[in-house]
Amino acid sequence: MSEAGGGRGSGSPVPQRAPWSLVAATAALCLVSATSVGTAVAAPMSREEKQKLGNQVLEMFDHAYGNYMEHAYPADELMPLTCRGRVRGQEPSRGDVDDALGKFSLTLIDSLDTLVVLNKTKEFEEAVRKVLRDVNLDNDVVVSVFETNIRVLGGLLGGHSLAIMLKEKGEYMQWYNDELLQMAKQLGYKLLPAFNTTSGLPYPRINLKFGIRKPEARTGTETDTCTACAGTLILEFAALSRFTGATIFEEYARKALDFLWEKRQRSSNLVGVTINIHTGDWVRKDSGVGAGIDSYYEYLLKAYVLLGDDSFLERFNTHYDAIMRYISQPPLLLDVHIHKPMLNARTWMDALLAFFPGLQVLKGDIRPAIETHEMLYQVIKKHNFLPEAFTTDFRVHWAQHPLRPEFAESTYFLYKATGDPYYLEVGKTLIENLNKYARVPCGFAAMKDVRTGSHEDRMDSFFLAEMFKYLYLLFADKEDIIFDIEDYIFTTEAHLLPLWLSTTNQSISKKNTTSEYTELDDSNFDWTCPNTQILFPNDPLYAQSIREPLKNVVDKSCPRGISRVEESFRSGAKPPLRARDFMATNPEHLEILKKMGVSLIHLKDGRVQLVQHAIQAASSIDAEDGLRFMQEMIELSSQQQKEQQLPPRAVQIVSHPFFGRVVLTAGPAQFGLDLSKHKETRGFVASSKPYNGCSELTNPEAVMGKIALIQRGQCMFAEKARNIQNAGAIGGIVIDDNEGSSSDTAPLFQMAGDGKDTDDIKIPMLFLFSKEGSIILDAIREYEEVEVLLSDKAKDRAAILKGKMIPSYIINSNPEMENEEQPSSENDSQNQSAEQIISISQAVDLVDQESPEESSLNSHPESLSPADSDDAASLSPSEQTSNPTEDHETTSLDGECTDLDNQLQEQSETEEDSNPNVSWGKKVQPIDSILADWNEDIEAFEMMEKDEL
């Protein structure tokens, strides 16, 4: 049975959740009130249009793969903005992201089987020869065991699987003699030392040359790993054992899965995100289907498909029942606490959960798959891409998008299961957005911020391994593929493993260990894989009927509207107090707080603290209301802080040969023309002399009517702005003087004035780090005249280039022009919010002499030190002050149902401490001292804002 199959099935019953499930319940209830329009099914797509879109996918792949081979190979990845390869150690560290790089030509290996799927057999044969000739797996580099397994080991095995298939067909690969398999075996043995733990869970990292714990290894001291990291090995390791006859690989992977199953939370049957590899204790006790856990569930079900072991299916069904019982709140999937699964651990979702509808298709549970997929698609239509994280009311939480393929994966499987041409239109939208917003001259660039359209110098290997594979298969008919895709299963990296492995070298004992841990009722378990051709009638009306009520879920969501508060009000009960309505001077409010176990403390400095002890609440329901109130107050306080910050801006290169396809993330200024209120500024760039802009310009004729480039340092930002303005410049871009700095690795910050009145500065000013600034400087050296657009967010290329000669591939990717004059609703709403909510922050100017690290938008005020002189002011972004006796309109929020555009967008990189100790002061006490009587719930609150993907 191929993963491509799927069928209609009945999901587990979903009981009512705890009544305080906050925005989740809000969104769900708003769904019910969403207007349903019509029942018409999308028109079938003609064979010609499908072929046209398939050919477009092929051209896009050629653009990405060709640029990697030309500009980056043999480096691991392509840097598409600077047209060079990313080599570990030669670029600024990106932290854990770099653990995927091992100096083994990662992108080439990850792309091997994609070449065959896309009918590029000649290129595949050449690529295999390059891998065998050039790739070295014995490098002195520390890599992620998880990433190396799914990308490199999986890539080698997928390449081997299709190489032997082509060899059997007789035209290509006749010289092949299992060389890729031998490389895979060599790599497998290099990964085995990671499993040398008492639990059998692998270390998260290993040195390819020196292994674990040796002095030269620089690894082996870690204690924690993620559940997905330890539980996403069985397909590749079992395939390696089945291909080679060496059983040790499958044995080690099975042992890790057995241990994770044994350590699940027995009452909820959920697993946490992070586990101690030595003790088996859960380090992070929140549970979901996204980052940190996702592929663990995927591999349990697919291990049953590939290996035929019933215990894997029984485990998956047990977990799936828990997911549908506690985590699934259609169309949302929200993390919960494993010990108290009726309590949400987050108010946001991450992009990695987009794979889950595809897994539900394989399970045969189509209805919730359609619902969640539709919600995700509406978020994409709102932001062009799926943000790395977004809130339950569909605001951006983390604004990056590294060209993840999970949504395309689910789109493909849903089309296979339903036959609904709607999903072909979804795929068409994905293609258009990639060409329109992510395509750059040297490939496709990840989105730094989906709100501004700015780019990151990054094109991950999974983009070629998965995105183009799923998009091509979506539009391809059976005869378009040179082999039967139904004979293979997809790994989590979309590598292909043949299903005939299930009957090869079955030397591993299939003892059903599941029943040793728990007594399970398997009466509702599906013991076979659904088949789309038999169980599912490919009836598009079925998918349409499920999807239609969700049509307006994003645009019509109520961020803080209808919830169980209003439900209880309709039933006659008095609704609980909401944070937005709270007034510290209202005796009735204080009495309600007391009933919920919340105490109000007036501090000597005039600030107010709220403390909750759940055991002091009048009832368990009141305690839950108290928790909800505290969580709302945390969000409200955080939102007020964020409203004092300016969002990032965009610098878009619009001249030849960029044509608006390169967008750079820029820091805003607290002075000068506000790009969120005025039309963008467009002009050619010119360097000022002196370059630092700290004195009267000696080349005013060069910058007059242009956007001046200035180097950071030696004077205040406002002084630079005045000097270039006096010379006739229409705007300014300050470029960091710290060589090598980048928005990829340094937090963005906003330029402040000089402590004086800056109303005389009328031109827009933006800040670029050194790496982004170098892209403009390099373009000037190569093309002399470079034109840029300064704006609040990237503009549509068709509107930018209207009336100009445009290359055909750009025209084709922009079939419709957006209205260039349309104002930015996001920034307008920010101004409205600032008027509705009385500011309680005192902004402190940021000065040019300080480093960007100190002036970070997401730094905590308490971590920053005041400067020693008036010329170098403190860099704290804001300090909260308030008087509790003042009118607490400062905490009120509009409770009516409004369009998402009118909600203040969260900064993508802001991660603030979640703390029920709500205080309108500049310092917040630790959470432990506030909810000491409810430790497990404390952990859930802590994870709500501190989680990292």
pLDDT band at 439 (very low <50, low <70, confident <90, very high): very high
How far, in Å, CA of 476 to CA of 58, rounded? Answer: 11
Phi/psi of residue 612, nearest 5 degrees: -120, 135
How much of the chain exceeds pLDDT 70, in percent? 72
User: Residues 198-206: what's their mean pLDDT?
Assistant: 96
Please identify which of the residues 393, 406, 625, 787 carries the catalytic annotation.
Answer: 406
C-alpha span between 355 and 493 (Å, rounded): 11
d(CA 460, CA 392): 28
Q: Checking DSSP bridges between strand 731-735 and strand 439-440, what pairing results, if any? A: unpaired
What residues contact residue 947 under an 8 Å CB cut-off, 6+ apart? Answer: 273, 284, 286, 291, 346
Better-scored residue on pLDDT, 141 or 931: 141
CA distance 740 to 686: 22
Residue 94, SS3 per DSSP: coil
**CA Rg, the chain, in Å?**
28
- pLDDT score of 295 more than 90: yes
Estimate to the nearest angstrom the gap between the alpha carbon of 79 and the chain centroid: 19
The H or E element spanning position 776 is: helix 770-783
The phi, psi pair for 440, rounded to 5°, reads -130, 170
Q: Other CB atoms closer than 10 Å to residue 551's CB: what's the count?
A: 17
Mean pLDDT of 420-444: 96
- The partner residues of 766 in beta bridges, in order of sequence, read 733
523 or 164, higher pLDDT: 164
* Nearest Cα residue to 371 out of 331, 420, 408, 332: 331
Give residue 9's pLDDT band: very low, low, confident or very high (50, 70, 90). very low
Alpha carbon separation from 844 to 384, 847, 849, 865 (Å, rounded): 35, 10, 14, 12
Q: CA–CA separation, 81 vs 66, rounded Å? A: 15
**In this structure, are residues 568 and 911 in contact, taking their beta carbons and an 8 Å threshold?**
no
pLDDT average, residue stretch 482-511: 86
Q: How far apart are CA 538 and CA 552, in angstroms?
A: 25
Please spell the DSSP secondary structure of 245-279, one letter per residue: --THHHHHHHHHHHHHHHTSBTTTTB--SEEETTT
Binding-site annotation, residues for Ca(2+):
492
Residue 354 has pLDDT above 50, yes or no: yes
For the chain, percent of residues with pLDDT exceeding 90:
56
| pLDDT computed for residue 256 by the predictor | 97
More confident residue, 637 or 97: 97
Least confident span in 33-47, 269-283, 666-680: 33-47
Structure tokens belonging to residue 713? 């340092």
**Whether residue 442 has pLDDT greater than 50:** yes
pLDDT of residue 805: 53
Query: Token pair for residue 536?
Result: 């599912």
Which of 270, 259, 257 is CA-nearest to residue 302? 257
388 is a catalytic site residue: yes
User: What is the mean predicted confidence (pLDDT) over 757-767?
Assistant: 91
pTM to 2 decimals? 0.70
Q: What is the mean pLDDT of residues 481-495?
A: 96
Q: Is 48 a catalytic residue?
A: no
Which residue positions form the known binding site? 492
Q: Could you please report the per-residue DSSP string of 876-919?
A: -S--B---TTS-GGGG----S---GGGSPPPPTT--PPP-S-EE
Could you tell me if residue 317 is left (phi over 0), alpha (psi between -120 and 50 degrees) or otherwise beta? Answer: alpha
pLDDT at 813: 46
Which of 98, 125, 294, 744 is an active site residue? 294
Count CB atoms within 10 A of the CB of residue 552. Answer: 16
DSSP state of 464: I
Q: Residue 949: is its pLDDT beyond 80?
A: no
Decide which of 601 and 758 is more confident.
Answer: 758
Higher-confidence position of 870 and 563:
563
The rounded distance, in Å, linking the Cα atoms of 181 and 176 is 11
Residue 285 structure tokens = 């006790």
The pLDDT of 575-586, averaged and rounded, is 73
pLDDT at residue 361, rounded to an integer:
95
Q: Measure the N-to-C terminal CA separation of the chain; round to a whole number of Å.
A: 32
Average pLDDT over residues 128-151: 97
pLDDT tens digits, residue range 827-840?
A: 443 333 322 222 22
Point out the catalytic residue in the list 125, 147, 912, 945: 147
Closest CA to 79 of 810, 744, 741, 659: 744
406 in active site: yes
Higher per-residue confidence, 169 vs 940: 169
User: By C-alpha distance, which of 659, 394, 707, 436 is closest to 553?
Assistant: 394
Residue 294 is among the residues annotated as catalytic for this protein: yes
Q: 76, 110, 388, 632: which is the annotated catalytic residue?
A: 388
Question: Could you tell me the two tokens for 469?
Answer: 């594979």
625-629 mean pLDDT: 81
Q: Token match 């992108």: residue?
A: 107
Contact call for residues 314 and 512 (beta carbons, < 8 A): yes
> What is the average pLDDT value for the chain, to the nearest integer?
78
pLDDT band (50, 70, 90) for residue 757: confident
Write down the residue that tokens 């559940």 correspond to.
227
pLDDT score recorded for residue 831: 37
147: pLDDT strictly greater than 60: yes
Provide the pairing of β-strand 205-207 with 787-791: unpaired
Q: In the predicted model, is pLDDT for residue 933 greater than 60?
A: no
Whether omega before 747 lies within 30 degrees of 0, making that bond cis, reads no
